[in-house]
């Protein structure tokens, strides 16, 4: 009988495991509760009207079309029966495994303030992105409609909490919308009067980057009309605004980009987790005491060289490859590759039209050239010629026409609130 | 003071009025409760995974960018105060008019069986389309997951009720999905065993076309694996299936393409309406007794040459142009063009890859050439170079790769039901 591999989660890590097991002769079951693999690094561009949802998401089973060794199941996992070596699905089906890979990702976290989620949505799924897109666009629409100046200013205040790459990239495009794209389209308001706030509890933005690039990003954002507020922890958050340093700022649109919490895989596994809910794994990326179970990506806490591996796409992919190599070695009776080592591929973030920061060890780059390198790198990382072509064309079109093409308010009729 | 024109509804008719008033020196307010103009003739392609939502929808205010005489409001209308000549918005604002244009379209109608809507969604908005897309794709996913053969067959039975162009076009692509695109991607089920039913109460499909084209379409659909059932009124509809001729057919996916009902504009106007809720207008397309109010498109009942003008996009556009010409003539003190005359631009419908029917008076066309003509005509009717380019590329890509690109299940996590 073939060796049965069950992979839960078709994100960067899970997908890489399946790709790495091509031709290994396993019977693979790939389980996800979504029907698509999502390219999360560009999700902020869906949230900000640059890209369409289908540009950065692919049906998982279409990706596995040629892989007759892979059965894709769209299903929610209820638990893992480690004694019986079975994954239990919500419909009651039990999927037996010889090797299990858990790579179920993370959600945004509110550090104990879960009640903030309704007023400050985060950005992890396509629905999150279309929700944020709707709120952004509705704020301008309602500002055009209201007769009350205070209400108008609150509607035109956009606060992004958290200044990692996602936060920076969000405010960059919001500023472009408010200052360059929308002004010609409104008759009663001047969208250039919008306040766009980037709020960071720590001392500087883009903390994963060097001081120099962080300072460049701050200058570039300010030039684009963004107010950068560092050392400013948010202490309150409601549908009318936020409290910062004891000061209330009326803001109708608040976006959360400040922190993540791993999925509840540690519950399923009955495993030890760190504060962010990530399962603490061995250097081989397996569950302590159960080498048949791998935990990867944002779901796992692993340290290499004394530092925790960051929750970024390249790290998840590398872990997926490593797990696949380990499984193949075991099946072939060869020595497995051993401890996972993270290769830092550097950090990239865009700030706006013709501005980005790239850091790779001592190598640093800013400005328009970094922006083009960022774009080309991301097109390379997309899956398939079609997505590459369509995203490249969308970007080129937006760049030349100064118009974003996916400015749709959907899922709720605007007049109804 | 400038002549104030208020247009409610930015569909084909309303948009055409605004375009026709370019340079007329009016102060125009364009009100819609959606932020986008939707190209409804291609909505079925969003519902069936061929196109992305943003390919066929454009932000209304972006279309009006250069028109400084137009104020666009995203707002729901609460009523019309004809005595005061004001449109009342839901937020309480009153928008005064000298000339009012009401073009608020239609919704699908269930002939008194409104309870069917939950189980047999219709296709009028982008949300309708993504709902149908989700249900279609989820049915295949659940069939792959279930162990119960009867349940599997019910999940793989797709019933489209109503065999006008929309119904025919929907089953055409569903058949292509089931028979050509999806078979290679499922491991437990054979998607070619799907039953695809096109159900029509009348004696033949595509009743607006000639007998010959209707017969061709029937043959073409059957060759593609569609079961065409005519003279078959649906008497029951639930989440487990439909009743036809006293016979119960288990079907988990039912789509309604059988009828429409005009928006409730006749309530706002206190006007006489026909059975479909359409306001009966004068030959000049104005409200009887109130020439300052035009009612256009699917909201209006108008007869030319003894026949009611059909609720199709070309008719709505022609009415919009006619109303704009009438308003311009009045402002210039010239004789208005008088009675509206509908120019029948013919009928078009696609059936599937390389099959379409086109009828223009005595001229008739079928087969692959008609299919290409249909495609080129629709690309021509889209707004803007970008949409034309992206839709053309999407179609070309789907044609060559035999893959549809927008196969996303969104808005509800699949495992949750």
Distance from CA of B215 to the nearest CA of A (A): 35
CA distance B129 to chain A (A): 11
CATH topology of domain A4-33+75-108+260-332: FAD/NAD(P)-binding domain (3.50.50)
The residues near A221 (Cβ < 8 Å, ≥ 6 apart) are A168, A171, A172, A175, A198, A205, A228, A351, A352
pLDDT confidence of residue A259: 84
**A393/B390 touch (CB, cutoff 8 Å), yes or no:** yes
Surface of A (132-191) touching B: CB under 8 A: 137-138, 141, 144-147, 184-188
- What does residue B180 show for φ and ψ, rounded to 5 degrees? -120, -40
Structure tokens at A175: 């500023």
- The pTM (predicted TM-score) of the whole model is 0.94
Helices vs. strands in chain B: H and E counts, helices first: 11, 27
List active site positions of A. Answer: 169
Which chain B residues are Cβ-neighbours of A75 within 8 angstroms? Answer: 145, 414-415
DSSP output for A308-346: EPPSSHHHHHHHHHHHHHHHHHHHHTPPP--S-------
Chain A closest-CA separation from residue B76 CA (Å)? 5
- pLDDT over 90 (residue A416): no
Strand partners, B4: B27
Question: Do A4-33+75-108+260-332 and A114-258+353-416 show the same overall fold?
Answer: yes
Class of domain A114-258+353-416 (CATH, top level): alpha beta
Q: Which residues of B touch A68 (CB under 8 A)?
A: 187
Q: Which A residues 243-282 touch B at CB under 8 Å?
A: none
User: How far away is chain A from the Cα of B337, in angstroms, using its nearest Cα?
Assistant: 32
What residues contact B258, with CB distance under 8 A and at least 6 apart? B108, B111, B161, B162, B167, B201
Nearest to A413 among B33, B73, B137 (CB): B33
- What percent of chain B has pLDDT above 90? 92
For residue B196 the two structure tokens come to 């695809």
Count of pairs with CB atoms under 8 A, one residue in A, one in B: 166
Chain center to CA of B116: 19
Percent helix, percent strand, percent coil in chain B, to nearest 5: 35, 25, 40
List B residues 386-415 in contact with A (Cβ-Cβ < 8 A).
Answer: 386, 389-390, 393, 397, 401, 403, 405-411, 413-415
In this prediction, residue B111 carries a pLDDT of 85
Tell me whether B377 touches chain A (CB under 8 Å). no
Structure tokens belonging to residue B349: 């419908």
Q: Which of B94, B410, B416 best probes binding to A when mutated, by most A CB atoms within 10 angstroms?
A: B410
Rg of chain B over Cα atoms, rounded to whole angstroms, equals 22
Q: Which of B68, B410, B415 sits opposite A126 (nearest CB)?
A: B410
CA distance B196 to chain A (A): 22
Which is it for the CA torsion A315, A318, A320, A326, positive or negative?
Answer: negative
Whether ipTM > 0.85 holds is yes
Which of A184, A48, A47 has the alpha carbon at shortest distance from B62? A184
Nearest CA in chain B to A75: B415
Contact call for residues B322 and B285 (beta carbons, < 8 A): yes
- Please give the radius of gyration of chain A, using alpha carbons only, rounded to the nearest integer: 22
Mark which residues 310-349 of B lie under 8 Å from A by CB: none
Best of B58, B87, B90, B185 to substitute, by most chain A Cβ atoms within 10 angstroms, is: B185
Which residue on chain A is closest to B385 by alpha carbon?
A397
Q: Known catalytic residues of B?
A: 169
pLDDT in tens, B353-412: 999 999 998 899 999 999 999 999 999 999 999 999 999 999 999 999 988 888 999 886
Query: pLDDT tens across B229-279, in order?
Result: 999 999 999 999 999 989 999 999 999 999 889 999 999 999 999 999 999
* Residues B127, A411: C-beta atoms closer than 8 Å: yes
Quick: pLDDT tens for A207-259.
Answer: 999 999 999 999 999 999 999 999 999 999 999 999 998 999 999 999 999 98
Domain ranges in chain B?
4-33+75-108+260-332, 114-258+353-416
DSSP A273: B
**Count of C-beta atoms within a 10 Å radius of residue B399:** 12
| Interface contact A53-B411, CB threshold 8 A | no
CB B97 within 8 A of CB B89: no
User: Given phi > 0 = left and psi -120 to 50 = alpha, else beta, which region is A354?
Assistant: left
C-beta atoms of B127 and A73 within 8 A:
no
SS3 call for B303: strand
User: Could you read off the pLDDT tens digit of each residue along chain B, which spans 417 residues?
Assistant: 899 999 999 999 999 999 999 999 999 999 999 999 999 999 999 999 999 999 999 999 999 999 999 999 999 999 999 999 999 999 999 999 999 999 999 998 898 899 999 999 999 999 999 999 999 999 999 999 999 999 999 999 999 999 999 999 999 999 999 999 999 999 999 999 999 999 999 999 999 999 999 999 999 999 999 999 999 999 999 999 999 989 999 999 999 999 889 999 999 999 999 999 999 999 999 999 999 999 999 999 999 888 899 999 999 999 999 999 999 999 999 999 999 999 998 999 999 999 999 999 889 999 999 999 999 999 999 999 999 999 999 999 999 998 888 899 988 643 333
> How would you class A275 by CB atoms within 10 Å of its CB: exposed for 0-12, middle for 13-18, buried for 19 or more?
exposed
Residue with tokens 């290499």: A304
């Amino acid at each position: 009988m073939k060796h049965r591999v069950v992979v839960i989660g078709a994100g960067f890590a899970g997908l890489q495991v399946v790709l790495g097991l091509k031709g290994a002769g396993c019977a693979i079951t790939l389980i996800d509760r979504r029907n698509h693999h999502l390219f999360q690094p560009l999700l902020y561009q869906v949230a900000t009207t640059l890209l369409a949802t289908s540009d950065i998401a692919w049906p998982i089973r279409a990706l596995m079309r040629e892989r007759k060794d892979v059965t894709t199941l769209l299903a929610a996992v209820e638990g893992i029966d480690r004694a019986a070596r079975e994954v239990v699905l919500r419909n009651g089906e039990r999927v037996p495994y010889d090797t299990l890979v858990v790579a179920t990702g993370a959600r945004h976290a509110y550090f104990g303030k879960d009640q903030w989620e309704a007023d400050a949505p985060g950005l992890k799924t396509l629905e999150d992105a279309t929700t944020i897109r709707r709120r952004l666009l509705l704020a301008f629409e309602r500002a055009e409609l209201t007769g009350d100046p205070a209400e108008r200013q609150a509607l035109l205040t956009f606060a992004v909490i958290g200044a990692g790459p996602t936060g920076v990239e969000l405010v960059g495009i919001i500023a472009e919308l408010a200052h360059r794209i929308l002004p010609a389209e409104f008759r009663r308001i001047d969208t250039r009067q919008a306040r766009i706030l980037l709020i960071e509890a720590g001392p500087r933005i883009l903390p994963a980057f060097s001081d120099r690039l962080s300072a460049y990003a701050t200058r570039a954002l300010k030039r684009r009309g963004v107010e950068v507020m560092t050392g400013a922890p948010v202490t309150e958050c409601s549908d009318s605004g936020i409290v910062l340093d004891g000061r209330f700022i009326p803001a109708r649109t608040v976006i959360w980009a400040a922190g993540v919490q791993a999925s509840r895989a540690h519950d399923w596994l009955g495993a030890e987790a760190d504060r962010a809910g990530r399962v603490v794994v061995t250097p081989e990326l397996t569950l302590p005491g159960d080498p048949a179970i791998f935990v990867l990506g944002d779901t796992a806490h692993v340290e290499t060289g004394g530092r925790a591996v960051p929750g970024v796409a390249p790290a998840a992919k590398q872990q997926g490859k490593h797990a696949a190599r380990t499984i193949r070695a075991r099946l072939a009776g060869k020595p497995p590759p051993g401890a996972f080592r993270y290769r830092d591929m550097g950090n990239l973030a865009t700030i706006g039209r013709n501005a980005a920061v790239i850091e790779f060890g001592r190598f640093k780059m800013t400005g328009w050239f970094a922006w083009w390198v960022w774009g080309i790198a991301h097109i390379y990382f997309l899956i398939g010629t079609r997505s590459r072509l369509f995203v490249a064309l969308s970007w080129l079109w937006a760049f030349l026409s100064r118009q974003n093409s996916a400015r749709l308010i959907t899922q709720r009729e605007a007049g109804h609130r």
